[in-house]
Amino acid sequence: MASPVSVYNSNALDTHISSSSRESLKMELLADVSLLPGEERIIDKETIYICPFSGAVKGKVLITNYRLYFKSLDPDVALTLDVPLGAIGRVEKMGGASSRGENSYGLDITCKDMRNLRFALKQEGHSRRDIFELIFKYAFPLSHSLPLFAYVTQEKYGENGWDIYKPIEEFRRQGLPNNKWRITFINKNYELCDTYPTVLAVPFKSKEEDLRRVAAFRSRGRIPVLSWIHRENQAVIVRCSQPLVGMSGKRNKDDERYLDVIREANDTPKLTIFDARPSVNAVANKATGGGYEGDEYQNAELVFLDIQNIHVMRESLKKLKDIVYPNVEDSHWLSSLESTHWLEHVKLVLSGAIQVADKVSSGQSVVVHCSDGWDRTAQLTSLAMLMLDSHYRTLRGFQVLIEKEWISFGHKFASRIGHGDKNHADQDRSPIFVQFIDCVWQMTKQFPTAFEFNERLLLTILDHLYSCCFGTFLYNCESARDQHEVRLKTVSLWSLVNSKTEMSEMYLNPFYTPESGRVLYPVASMRHLELWVTYYIRWNPRIRQQQQSPVEQRYKELLALRDEYLKKLEELQLSDSSPSSRLANTPNSSSSTSSTPPQQYTQLQTPL
């Protein structure tokens, strides 16, 4: 019979707590919490956790420079919380000195990972002041002139994750450079565009001075550059930002000619320009100096994809959190989910990526942009590449995709996530990358054998998007990471994922079947999209218990059984070939085995 135990642990951390007696549990409740290298205990305090599922739970909370850790005092209620401080978005005081009612005085903590925490403390003697100030200080280190934990931890791994993506190697894998496309280092000092990477692929016919003139007409200098090329038909995915047309309808002959050169590279009859925005928003952007490509762009067609901006996505996720945490209201679930519009936004992003992939697959080159080219553009290019190129569906290939299209091309992780920043109301915050990972998850559900990695990898990525334990998602662009020496002073998340340990196998999909030429076209309709319950509602213990896939679990058990048999077979073969075994089988041996023919062992085959 299953034990009625609720354990709330962040997937980002595996902490092993040894069992102890009741008395020692009270005395040394938090003494055996294993800390990461560089992690230091700051304060521990007796408190009451107001658990939304189990009610008030007495226990002890430990604050380190990396995490908030809570464990219940009652051994019959084995409840633990393990929350990286980076996942905390807001800390507020609950109640005052004169507050009446049980557990009405304490702290309210809002997390970025779809949960909230509430702790009650004793009212006398300002008992919450010290813990409030310390949580606030270490959850928002940049607001207190402290380093992010990624610069403090000294964790060592067997592999250097910073080596996973090398731009030149990735371009070579795609077949570049060739007679139509060249590699340029014009941005090696970030002078052309301070939010672009140093290595760019541009049309062979374009000269460096052309690129500079085009940069002057594109928002933030983010010129059209190649993201991916189709090996057979040579159609390309090009990304950029909006043209600076403005209210007066400015033109730039260099920009128009440059896009036509992109079109000519594989003799595409018409270059398709996918503008991720709703047309109304694109027109409105003219008032702030932006805009879109008009009829003056010869041999080009403009398609608006109607994907909403960062502010709409932020509010949509807030509404989703309201209906999934702490409790799910079954009676109005479908209407409540629909009112958040979250799946509708996911559908539009996937639908846009499908259109991009379909054009390229049919041999037509495309240009993709939104306003600045670092949010919706990254979603569309990376998802289209995931559909077109099976390499990105491998464990390491997916890491390359994220490094390339999101990190190197300047998705504003620092602004969108707010690492170490106390300003929770910052209008730049938005779950754009979370939405992308959700779209990837939708694809893995529709194509369960097409991806080498599993859901656990996606959850780990999102946990460490917030944790600040690794340098991978810190800062807004490559130039900022260089300035803060991220590669020198922090560890990459991919070091954890790729290190040769038992942990690395946790990220592999047992059903994976490699298919190199297959293009994936997911169905982007509301009937086929699902809410990612194991991410958005994972803190609810009732939901968590329901989410184990019996098929996958049984398959893993069979694989483990096969490995066990193979190991035993290997041991038998070794013992059979040992000197003592050979001696026993010599003709001079008086053993009865001398008359027995030597046993033959063959490789064990299983239907798996």
Instruction: Report whether 374 belongs to an annotated binding site.
Output: yes
Does the annotation place 371 within a ligand binding site? yes
Q: Is 251 annotated as a binding residue?
A: no
**CA–CA separation, 502 vs 122, rounded Å?**
44
Q: Are 421 and 143 in contact (CB under 8 A)?
A: yes
Residue environment code for 496-510, b if the CB has 16+ CB neighbours within 10 A, otherwise e: bbbeeeeebeebebe
Instruction: State phi, psi for 228 to the nearest 5 degrees.
Output: -155, 145
Strand partners, 49: 57, 119
Q: Is 310 annotated as a binding residue?
A: yes
Amino acid at 271: L
Task: Find, among 200, 316, 202, 313, the residue nearest to 262 by Cα.
Answer: 202
Give one DSSP letter per residue of 454-507, joined into a string. Answer: -HHHHHHHHHHHHH-SSSTT-SSSHHHHHHTTHHHHS--HHHHHHSSSHHHHTT
Catalytic residue numbers, as ranges: 370
455 touches 443 (CB < 8 A): no
Yes or no: say if 223 and 353 are a contact pair by the CB < 8 Å rule. no
Closest CA to 200 of 492, 476, 478: 478
Does the annotation flag 370 for ligand binding?
A: yes
Query: Cα(364)–Cα(303) distance, rounded to whole angstroms?
Result: 14
Q: Answer yes or no: are the C-beta atoms of 406 and 374 closer than 8 Å.
A: no
Q: What is the dihedral of CA 105, 70, 505, 550, to 10 degrees?
A: -70
Name the burial class of residue 417, with classes exposed (0-12), middle (13-18) and buried (19+) by CB atoms within 10 angstroms of its CB: buried
Inter-axis angle of helices 253-264 and 208-215, to 10 degrees?
Answer: 120
309 is in an annotated binding site: yes
Contact 181, 227 (CB under 8 A): no
Tokens found for residue 567: 């190991």
Q: What DSSP assignment string belongs to 381-397?
A: HHHHHHHH-GGGGSHHH
Q: Using alpha carbons only, give the angle 526, 529, 530 rounded to the nearest 5 degrees.
A: 125
Gap between the Cα atoms of 349 and 345, Å rounded = 6
Residues in contact with 453: Cβ distance below 8 Å, sequence separation at least 6, in sequence order: 394, 395, 398, 507, 508, 509
Which one, of 195, 519, 528, lies nearest residue 356 by Cα?
Answer: 519
Greatest CA separation for the chain: 105
Contact 105, 94 (CB under 8 A): yes
Only one residue has tokens 């607001």, namely 143
Reported as half-sphere exposure (CB side, CA atoms, 13 A), residue 427 has a value of 3
DSSP assignment, residue 63? Answer: E
**Which residues contribute to the annotated binding site for substrate?**
309-310, 370-376
**Which residues contribute to the annotated binding site?**
309-310, 370-376
